[in-house]
Amino acid sequence: MLRPRKKYTVFDLQQLKGQRCLTHIHVKSPEEAAAAEAAGMDLMSCPFDSPEAQARLPLLVAAAPNSFISGSTPHGLASPEEAIRTGFRALELGASSVYCSASPFLIEAMARERIPVVGHLGMVPRHVTWTNYRAIGKTVAEAKQLHQRMKELESAGAYAAELELVPHNLATWLCSQTKMLLMSLGSGSGCDTQFLFSDDILGDYDERIPRHAKAYRNFLEEHRRLQRERVAAFGEYIADVKAGRFPERSNLVEMDGKLLKQVIGSVGKPAA
């Protein structure tokens, strides 16, 4: 029997920087978390940005008890106090760290309280109105700004940062310039982790797959097939009931006939 693997700590991850590229996935259900752990995934992240997501976090942790899971905090944290409360709440519910796309100002507040925080660099979907959806860092000015923002996150106390849609050669250089773990989402293989969303890997949405991602299954078609099977099964049930084919004798419990007659005789005829 295989022994359970050791659950990573932030200390462990920091010792692994530069040693190998860790596998990393964003999951949204206990089933996905359990599957990722069974497959040997190194790291996971999950939503923690709504009441429903916060209620789901303990289920994900229970499904993957030996995995390092980061909870993604809500967009629009209004104050350092709210950021700190949110971070501690995630840790109390079983998260190993928190992801936060807010400014270094809020990240520093959490980090001061020793909450492990992951920041975000490059193309940040929550701030896309400033950049549009595109690669970030293809010009000298943007690359220098990206380096500056990386250093600001590092100084704020983030132990890691997601690096999204950054040219792969620039990302590799940036990774060598920081003590933070850089988590590549569409930024090549020269970072400390390779990160994808479960929806991308499973092909579980009705959109064109992003260039940086790869679908290994077609769950969307499987969901559609299952829905067709649901409709067909329910229709067959309706038809069987209407035709008297369900329930069959094998579906029924029957009272002994003599005992039933005894009951009927002792109760008498019903009133008219």
Among residues 92, 164, 221, 229, which one is catalytic? 164
Alpha helices, DSSP H, located in the chain: 10-16, 30-39, 51-63, 80-92, 104-112, 140-156, 168-176, 198-202, 219-243, 257-267
Amino acid, res. 247 = P
Q: Is residue 164 annotated as a catalytic residue, yes or no?
A: yes
Amino acid, res. 207 = E
- Is residue 123 classed as helix, strand or coil in its secondary structure? coil
Decide: 234 and 247 in contact? Cβ < 8 Å: no
- CA torsion, points 258, 261, 262, 264, in degrees to nearest 10? 160
- Is residue 137 classed as helix, strand or coil in its secondary structure? coil
Q: Which residues participate in catalysis according to the annotation?
A: 164
